[in-house]
Amino acid sequence: MIIKNADVVFADGVKKTDLRIENGVIAEIGKLAGEGLDCTGLTVFPGLIDMHVHLREPGFEKKENIESGSRAAVKGGFTQVCCMPNTKPVTDNKVVVSYIVNRAKEVGLCKVRPIGAITEGQEGKNLAAIGAMKAAGAVALSEDGKTVVSTGLMANAMMYAADFGLKCLCHCEDSSLVDGGVVNEGYYATLTGLKGSIRAAEDIIIAREICLAESLSLPVHICHVSTYSGVQLIREAKARGVQVTAETCPHYFTLTDEVIASFDTNTKVNPPIRAEKDRLAVIEGLRDGTLDCIVTDHAPHHEDDKNVEYALAAFGISGLETSFALSYTQLVRGGALTPSELACKMSANPARILGLEGGAIAVGAPADLMVADLNEKWTIDPADFVSKGKNTPFAGREVYGRVKYTLVDGEIKYREA
Ligand code: DOR
Ligand code: ZN
Ligand code: ZN
């Protein structure tokens, strides 16, 4: 198969060229003879890689399952996703890891890489069977949804993880400071009467994980950074050589806590959407390399979990189908990143951090590709989502960048209807 006349996004810039795909691999790049998929006016990105999603299977299939989540992923341009372990049962052993790997293969849409829990049952008491999970296909460890409260246990986890070549992905939240807070502490928390959570609740654990990584000379990855002060902690740690990497999500660089004034529970997410100062710092962190990745933290919920009063609603945003367009619109059209830099944040860096295949368009690489029309303007409508989770705070928003095709190992897994 040949992809013709596309603007192809490479690490060092965008070039108009053709791609030949053979046996699922990119075989040739350059002006090619013969018929092919005409991509005139379209842009080819390396298949997007989301290192932080929740697919909810096993256990919460009412919210999402591996099939619906995979379908949402390829519709969003993702060829590979890493799924968090807060399932039921928790993904804390090789049986659940194998189940996810096998089920994803049966579904056969995108590559699904499970993330194992750090502790048994995510209870924060005993380390999970890290080696067995790695052998079954786990690509990282995380307690996502919570923080490992015991610092000593977290230190042990980082050491064991490193022995097995895995990284810990840290959800940073001191629950004694959050203390039931559901939104960012500030003007809009006061205005709405919703209980606020201060930045320090996130920053203290970011600082703790950095201290551990520095003292132990081990890597650590910080999940969904939302505060200006968290960005600064990571920037300073990187400057002195700490092996810290970090991610953020579209809602943190697109929205501010002003949106909670609507009392729309689709704006409820953990960590919370913060203030303009934070939003700008997150963009600057992406621009200057402090923040390595854009992830969705795709957290689909059922209507029953969201259609309740704000304090009681579930935390989370269904993000796979909006992430590329929001990121492209906000960051590339907004002038903070080039298309190549966006591809880095959404593909190359996640691959590098977790040691995954893919992440670049190169001869010999798997033909994991995403083809988009960057000039197409469209309006986000959750009724169009194929994810079971329709929970988005972006309904009605106009964005640029429409995914037209997603190819995994050279096969078209999504084609816009
Ligand atoms: O908003 C969130 N939703 N944050 C988390 O940490 C967990 C996630 C979920 O699983 O719903
Ligand atoms: Zn989290
Ligand atoms: Zn998460």
Report how far ligand 2's centroid is from the alpha carbon of 146 (Å).
Answer: 7
Locate 306 and state its tokens: 């969201």
Q: How many domains does the chain have?
A: 1
What ranges in 217-335 are assigned the alpha helix state H? 228-239, 250-254, 276-288, 303-306, 323-327
Average pLDDT of adjacent 10-residue blocks, the chain of 417 residues: 96 97 98 93 98 98 98 99 98 98 98 99 98 98 98 98 98 98 98 98 99 98 99 99 99 98 98 98 99 99 98 98 99 98 98 98 98 98 98 98 98 97
Asked if the structure places residue 371 within a domain, the reply is no
39 within a domain of the structure (yes/no): no
Q: Considering only CA atoms, which of 54, 34, 17 is closest in space to residue 145?
A: 54
Q: Does any domain span residue 168? A: yes
> Ligand 1: which of 86, 248, 388 to mutate, most ligand atoms within 8 Å of CB?
86
372 part of a folded domain: no
Distance 46 CA to ligand 3 centre (A): 23
The reported pLDDT for the residue numbered 165 is 98
CB-based contact 294:246 (threshold 8 Å): no
Q: Is the CB of 251 under 6 A from ligand 1?
A: no
Which segments of 41-93 does DSSP mark as H helices, in order?
66-75
Decide: 272 in ligand 1 pocket, CB within 6 A. Answer: no
Is residue 6 one of the residues assigned to a domain? no
Residue whose CA is at the smallest distance from ligand 1 atom 9: 299
Q: Is 345 in the pocket of ligand 1 (CB under 6 A)?
A: no
Q: CB neighbours (10 Å) of residue 348?
A: 21
pLDDT at 191: 98
CA of 365 to the centre of ligand 2 (A): 31
* Ligand 1 atom with minimal separation from the 268 CA: 1
Kindly state the helix (H) or strand (E) to which residue 9 belongs, with its residue range: strand 2-10
Half-sphere exposure of 31 (CA within 13 A, CB side): 0
Query: Which of 96, 71, 74 is closest to 84 using CA atoms?
Result: 96
Residue 399 pLDDT:
98
Tell whether 112 is covered by a domain.
Answer: yes
Residue 387: its pLDDT value, please?
A: 99
Neighbours of 296 (CB within 10 A): 32
Q: Which of 50, 52, 53, 54 to mutate to test the pocket of ligand 1 (most atoms within 8 A of CB)?
A: 54
In a domain, 287, yes or no: yes
Residues of the domain holding 67 = 46-359+377-398
Domain assignment of residue 71, yes or no:
yes
CA 65 / ligand 1 centre spacing (Å): 16
Both structure tokens of 122? 């995510």
Global pTM reads 0.98
Residue 297 a catalytic site member:
yes
CATH at residue 113: 3.20.20.140
